[in-house]
């Protein structure tokens, strides 16, 4: 079967609310007027993965003196990280225990950086509440949590199931439209764009990186142990290239077209009811209001005080089952799907008990609605490591809509592997040690064997249609 490659990021995109307070230093930023002809390391993509990879490179003595260039097709952090749901919620029972532990570690790493650097990105530590829409979904979740208690009790202790109606109401969950919920310790909401642009601005001003925005890479060619990245502004050559391109990966790596597939998602910033108060959790909604069980909706809320524009926007995304247009295999985020957008405006008034003046409200008013491109992995795990048979070409991406609790430490992992490889160290031995130490799950590492095994699974399109992802 032939799989279509992703397009490059569209020059024009829908207007993400997260870009409503842009980092003016970074708009149109090019650290040098001309694109350098060469660099030691080129990173493609300036979302959370590419930016934190640059940060970890800049902090590592082994990279001292190396020139680092970041190429971004649009403005800085204009892709998925600047368009996502704004929550960092580890999935503690949907994946294996080592993945759950890694995602928790990632959460703490991000929180530590924000705390020590005092990053103004609206970080709020919350519990994760996943609302379950049907008895069938509840039964499957109970089975997974029971298994987690047997295999990883240290992870399972962070999760509880709630079915009591009064207890559900404490979490603002409407017991008339769901059968229960899970509450997970260890989650957060934040303004992702502000975190990433804080890091980028700091790195640029410290002279650690050369950031070139509005510079899409159209092709990568390789010869003599070097890679040439072609752009409309000319070529740049490097021995080492890190692709942090997520849903757009196959535009530059066609061999990954069936392994990391672009999927368009819908997001909204909704005005809360008048006189309402902030919701207590980060939310996921599974199979609610007739949505497919494999299409989670997701919600956090911005603060009502102590921040610029303290409006308490309800940042709500999902609604895949209400879409009017195809989304799997779509890499165009210049279009809003009005079917999904309409669902998002109406659903919260049914699924949650929002307080304040909700009488006669049929839907919430949207301050913004937009789309973004996720990268869905064929085997449901990110792809991190060296691209097979491509010396010096590295990849970290394919988060299946779950990049915030993964991207930071996946960026660190790929940097550790890159620097070990450049130093002539045994990369396979290092990978084994990293897996043992919890620095990367085994299931994330790129190997030829994993690629072959993934291709025995149904395609992403089939998995989505049959409710397998």
Longest dimension (CA), the chain: 69
pLDDT value, residue 2: 57
Does 1 score more than 60 pLDDT? no
List, for residues 91-102, the tens digit of each pLDDT value: 999 889 999 999
SS3 category, 9? coil
- What is the rounded radius of gyration, in angstroms, for the C-alpha atoms of the chain? 21
List, for residues 248-287, the tens digit of each pLDDT value: 999 999 999 999 999 999 999 999 999 999 999 999 999 9
User: What residues form DSSP beta bridges with 217?
Assistant: 231
Domains of the chain: 17-81+193-261+379-465 (3.50.50.60), 125-189+263-373 (3.30.9.10)
Continuous H helices in 206-330: 249-252
Assign 467 a pLDDT band (cuts: 50, 70, 90). confident
The closest of 105, 113, 106, 58 to 419, measured between CA atoms, is 58
Assign 466 a pLDDT band (cuts: 50, 70, 90). confident
Angle between helices 192-205 and 97-117 (to 10 degrees): 60
User: What residues form DSSP beta bridges with 181?
Assistant: 131, 162
Rounded CA separation 148/126 (Å): 22
Does 468 score more than 80 pLDDT? no
Joined tokens for residue 337: 């799907």
Please return the burial class of 220, using the count of CB atoms within 10 Å of its CB with bins 0-12, 13-18 and 19+.
Answer: middle
Distances (CA, A) of 37 to 32, 47, 50, 186, 267: 11, 23, 20, 44, 38
List, for residues 284-340, the tens digit of each pLDDT value: 999 999 998 888 899 999 999 999 999 999 999 999 999 999 999 999 999 999 999
Does pTM surpass 0.85? yes
| Strand 38-44 versus strand 68-71 pairing type | parallel
pLDDT value, residue 3: 77
pLDDT value, residue 293: 86
Other CB atoms within 10 Å distance of the CB of residue 420 = 17
Rounded to 5 degrees, φ, ψ at 238 are -150, 150
């Amino acid at each position: 079967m032939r799989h279509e490659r992703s397009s490059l990021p569209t020059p024009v995109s829908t207007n993400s609310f997260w870009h409503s307070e842009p980092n003016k230093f970074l708009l149109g930023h090019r650290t040098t007027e001309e694109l350098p002809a060469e660099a030691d390391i080129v990173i493609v993509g300036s979302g959370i993965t590419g930016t934190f990879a640059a940060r970890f490179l800049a902090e590592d003595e082994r990279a001292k003196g190396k020139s680092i260039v970041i190429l971004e097709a649009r403005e800085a952090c204009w892709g998925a990280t600047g368009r996502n749901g704004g929550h960092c919620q580890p999935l503690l029972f949907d994946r294996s225990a080592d993945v759950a532990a890694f995602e928790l570690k990632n959460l703490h790493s991000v929180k530590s950086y924000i705390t020590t650097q005092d990053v103004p990105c609206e970080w709020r530590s919350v519990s994760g509440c996943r609302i379950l829409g049907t008895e069938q979904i509840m039964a499957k979740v109970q089975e997974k949590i029971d298994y987690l208690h047997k295999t990883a009790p240290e992870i399972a202790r962070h999760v509880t199931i709630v079915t009591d109606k009064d207890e559900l109401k404490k979490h603002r969950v409407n017991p008339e439209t769901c059968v229960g919920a899970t509450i997970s310790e260890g989650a957060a909401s934040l303004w992702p764009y502000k975190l990433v642009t804080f890091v980028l601005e700091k790195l640029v001003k410290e002279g650690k990186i050369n950031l070139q925005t509005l510079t899409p890479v159209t092709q990568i060619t390789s010869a003599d142990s070097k890679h040439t990245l072609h752009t409309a502004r000319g070529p740049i050559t490097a021995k080492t290239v890190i692709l942090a391109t997520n849903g757009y990966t196959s535009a530059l790596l066609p061999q990954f077209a069936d392994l990391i597939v672009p999927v368009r998602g819908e997001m909204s910033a909704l005005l809360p009811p008048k006189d309402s108060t902030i919701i207590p959790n980060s939310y996921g909604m599974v199979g609610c209001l007739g949505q497919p069980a494999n299409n989670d909706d997701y919600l956090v809320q911005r603060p009502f005080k102590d921040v610029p524009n303290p409006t308490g926007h309800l940042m709500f995304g999902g609604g895949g089952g209400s879409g009017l247009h195809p989304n799997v295999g779509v890499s165009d985020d210049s279009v809003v799907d009005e079917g999904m957008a309409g669902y998002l405006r109406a659903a919260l008034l049914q699924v949650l008990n929002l307080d304040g003046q909700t009488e006669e409200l049929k839907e919430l008013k949207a301050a913004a609605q937009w789309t973004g491109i996720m990268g869905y992995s064929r085997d449901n795990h990110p792809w991190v490591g060296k691209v097979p048979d491509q010396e010096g070409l590295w990849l970290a991406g394919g988060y299946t809509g779950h990049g915030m609790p993964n991207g930071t430490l996946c960026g660190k992992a790929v940097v550790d592997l890159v620097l070990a490889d450049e130093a002539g160290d045994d990369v396979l031995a290092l990978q084994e040690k990293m897996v043992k130490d919890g620095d990367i799950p085994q299931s994330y590492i790129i190997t030829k064997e994993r690629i072959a095994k993934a291709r025995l699974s149904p395609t992403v399109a089939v998995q989505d249609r049959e409710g397998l992802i």
